[in-house]
Amino acid sequence: MENIQKIRNVPLLGDKFSDLDVQPTHGMMKLSDDFKDKWFILFNHPSDFTPVCTTEFVSFQKNYEKFRELNCELIGLSVDQIFSHIKWIEWIKENLDVEIEFPVIADTGAVANTLGIIHPGKGTTTLGLFLLVDNNGKIRTIVYYPQELGRIWLKF
């Protein structure tokens, strides 16, 4: 029963997504307002400038228009600082000729804690997360995975 109590603050399918104020690369956002009446995918990556995270971001960007046609926005997240995100996005543009258009949240841990992605056995390292929220703000899909796995299961 103790383990169940530990994970209860993790959001569940059908829960209303937490009303979060966040600082992404595109300026301050309130997710419930900025994505009102839209679906959105929030995906966490453990660290900027890593090969797997970079290919994931490039893949999401290459399919961004397809998501938008479905009234679905994308938003990245990591516990890296905003300046790291900006530099990484610049690096992707300069080296891979792909411009990341979706926002990337710089998290101090508040969002990660709310979503339950800081693993208690791994210090401040976050789990991977793919979260789909519908146009009414309800969580419809949650996929958690260890950072060592990457998002290899996600194929567009």
Give the β-pairing of 29-30 and 21-22: antiparallel
Q: Which residue has the tokens 């995918």?
A: 41
Query: What residues are paired with 29 via a beta bridge?
Result: 22
114 and 18 in contact (C-beta within 8 Å)? yes
144 and 135 in contact (C-beta within 8 Å)? no
Single out the catalytic residue among 22, 42, 53, 89. Answer: 53
Per-residue tokens: 15: 């829960």
Please confirm, yes or no, whether 72 is among the known catalytic residues: no
The residues annotated with a catalytic role in the active site are 53
